[in-house]
């Protein structure tokens, strides 16, 4: 399972139907947050994601991407959390969190570890990695690429039986990459498995102008989550405030040959249904497989060979 829940899809100014930026990623039961804007914990309650977060990844320190952190941690403490929480972010994330959590924060029952990341850094996890990518905003900012490890190739059941392997636990051992013995003969995984298959890859940009670093990092991604704050008619504001238009995000998706593009971080002027459709339609002129995220929207990311 790789489930994406859009908790907040609005821009700097919240609206009745769009809260500030926050995305929950659930990979095989491991829950991560990417950005944590104001109201994130309430959105998590509405979406029923649970609060057993293993890590928070911050793209930059603008208020609409971080102000949900103190309240979320306070609630975790009140619920008796004991597991440490890792919070990743750009340069000086430790100092930023120190000041952020000093604002009315009463205490906690668990450790919070701030981990500074620079573009190109990699966070390794069992079965996948999260790599940072340079983005172009008006403050220090980074995006994130979640990429799973290669998977074993398809299991050839008939070939295994030909080699004398009986269906059951030995099948599972071969599928997991372990050699086995059958009547004194060795059977290796490569004898019954096809070529290794790619895992899934998702990219989240945070706030950014279109840039080559994001295009390169997004190559062949299964899902690109790119900000699409404004439309072409307000492109000058996108340039001035270092954001992207929906069409510009679509151009990034096309150049990177991604499978799907989902736009988020919509300006308040496009936060209603008509505004979202306008941005979607502009993007689809360039990249057809474009959606616009809405608060509490959930999507699953499948494997390419499914």
**pLDDT tens for each residue of 248-272:** 999 999 999 999 999 999 999 999 9
Catalytic residues: 64
The mean pLDDT of 78-95, rounded to a whole number, is: 96
107, 77 contact by CB (below 8 A): yes
DSSP-assigned letter for residue 201:
E
Residue 174 has pLDDT above 70, yes or no: yes
**Domain co-membership, 255 together with 120:** yes
Q: How far is CA 282 from CA 8, 225, 230, in A?
A: 22, 16, 10
pLDDT number for residue 39: 97
Q: How far apart are CA 56 and CA 258, in angstroms?
A: 25
295, 43 contact by CB (below 8 A): yes
pLDDT digits (tens, 9 = 90+) for 29-52: 999 999 999 999 999 999 999 999
What is the CB-side half-sphere exposure of residue 28 using CA atoms within 13 A?
6
**Domain co-membership, 201 together with 187:** no
Q: How far apart are CA 100 and CA 37, in angstroms?
A: 13
Residue 305 lies in a domain: no
pLDDT number for residue 176: 84
Give residue 54's pLDDT band: very low, low, confident or very high (50, 70, 90): very high
pLDDT number for residue 44: 99
- The enclosing domain of 201 has a CATH number of 3.60.15.10
pLDDT digits (tens, 9 = 90+) for 177-188: 899 998 889 999
Residue 306 lies in a domain: no
**Domain co-membership, 187 together with 96:** no
**Which has the higher per-residue pLDDT, 160 or 61?**
61
Judged by phi (left if over 0) then psi (alpha if -120 to 50, else beta), residue 214 lies in alpha
The residue segments making up the domain with residue 182 are 157-191
What is the pTM for the complete model shown? 0.94
**Domain co-membership, 261 together with 112:** yes
Sequential DSSP letters for 102-120? TSS----SS-EEEEE--TT
Closest CA to 33 of 82, 89, 102: 89
Q: How far apart are CA 195 and CA 71, in angstroms?
A: 47
**Domain co-membership, 6 together with 133:** yes
């Amino acid at each position: 399972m790789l489930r994406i829940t859009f908790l907040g899809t609005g821009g700097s100014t919240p609206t009745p139907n769009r809260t500030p930026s926050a995305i929950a990623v659930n990979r095989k039961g491991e829950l991560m947050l990417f950005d944590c804007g104001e109201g994130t914990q309430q959105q998590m309650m509405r979406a029923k994601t649970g609060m057993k977060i293993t890590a928070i990844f911050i793209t930059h320190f603008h208020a609409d991407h971080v102000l949900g952190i103190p309240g979320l941690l306070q609630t975790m403490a009140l619920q008796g959390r004991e597991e440490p929480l890792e919070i990743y972010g750009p340069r000086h994330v430790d100092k930023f969190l120190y000041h952020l959590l000093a604002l009315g924060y009463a205490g906690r029952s668990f450790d919070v570890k701030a981990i500074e990341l620079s573009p190109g850094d990699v966070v390794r996890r069992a079965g996948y990695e999260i790599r940072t990518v340079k983005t172009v905003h008006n403050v220090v900012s980074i995006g994130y690429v979640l990429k799973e490890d290669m998977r074993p190739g398809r299991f050839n059941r008939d070939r295994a039986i030909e080699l004398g392997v009986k269906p059951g636990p030995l099948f599972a051992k071969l599928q997991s990459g372990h050699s086995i013995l059958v009547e004194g003969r060795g059977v290796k995984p490569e004898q019954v498995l096809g070529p290794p298959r790619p895992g899934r890859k998702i990219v989240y940009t945070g706030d950014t102008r279109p840039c080559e670093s994001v295009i390169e990092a997004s190559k062949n991604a299964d899902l690109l989550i790119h900000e699409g704050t404004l439309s072409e008619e307000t492109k000058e504001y996108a340039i001035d405030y270092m954001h992207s238009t929906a069409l510009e995000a679509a151009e990034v998706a096309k150049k990177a040959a991604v499978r799907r593009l989902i736009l988020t971080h919509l300006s308040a002027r496009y936060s209603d249904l008509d505004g979202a459709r306008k941005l979607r339609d502009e993007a689809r002129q360039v990249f057809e497989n474009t959606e616009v995220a809405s608060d509490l929207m959930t999507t699953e990311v499948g494997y390419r060979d499914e």
